[in-house]
Structure 1
């Protein structure tokens, strides 16, 4: 089961516009980007954020789960708690980087 577009748009609406939220479909699910940085992974209509030290205190009471087979545990973000979402987005945006575009190898 993959995430619905309605849920992805709901997540983006929960994030303050100053963060310039956007989303991209990846592998059947979505990543929500903040200022072009991948911050929130959405799988099966569940919002996940990576377990990083900068948000450990904010997410100490949050549940954790594995978003897809082969992944490590990620925190489950309560997307309806707008204050928490803003704090988590702020902390993660500071430590995340914009992904580099990979050059495709030319085939002979």
Structure 2
């Protein structure tokens, strides 16, 4: 089941104060970027964030899951708690690297 655009816009609005938020459709699912860093992957209308030591203490009781077959385990982000989601996303955006730029094929 693919994600609904309404849900993507809801997630984006919940974390809007974390920085510059944009999203991109990828293979029927979405990646949400904050300040040009990929922070949240949304699959089947479930927002996931990468397991990272910077947010480990914040996500101790969080549900975990696999966003897609073959993926590593991720935390499921509760975006209904906007203040918490913004704090977590800001923390992740600080420690995650920018995506590597791809070289164009000639």
Measured against the shorter chain, the TM-score band is: over 0.9
Aligned pairs (5 A) from 1:1-108:
1-17=1-17, 19-106=19-106
Q: Distance in 2 between matches of 1:84 and 1:53?
A: 17
When residues 51 and 18 of structure 1 are mapped into structure 2, their CA distance, relative to the original with a 3 A threshold, is: closer
1:97 to partner: Cα distance = 2.0
TM-superposed CA distance for 1:79, in Å, is: 0.6
- In the TM superposition, what is the alpha-carbon distance from 1:86 to its structure 2 partner? 1.2
- Structure 1, unaligned runs of 5 or more: none
Normalised TM-score (structure 2): 0.94
Change in 2 beyond 3 A, CA 1:52/1:66 = same
Consecutive unaligned residues in structure 2, runs of 5 or more: none
Between the aligned partners of 1:26 and 1:102, the Cα distance in structure 2 is 16
Name the CA distance, whole Å, in 2 between partners of 1:16 and 1:25.
18
Aligned length, in residue pairs: 106
Let me know the Cα RMSD of the aligned residues: 1.1
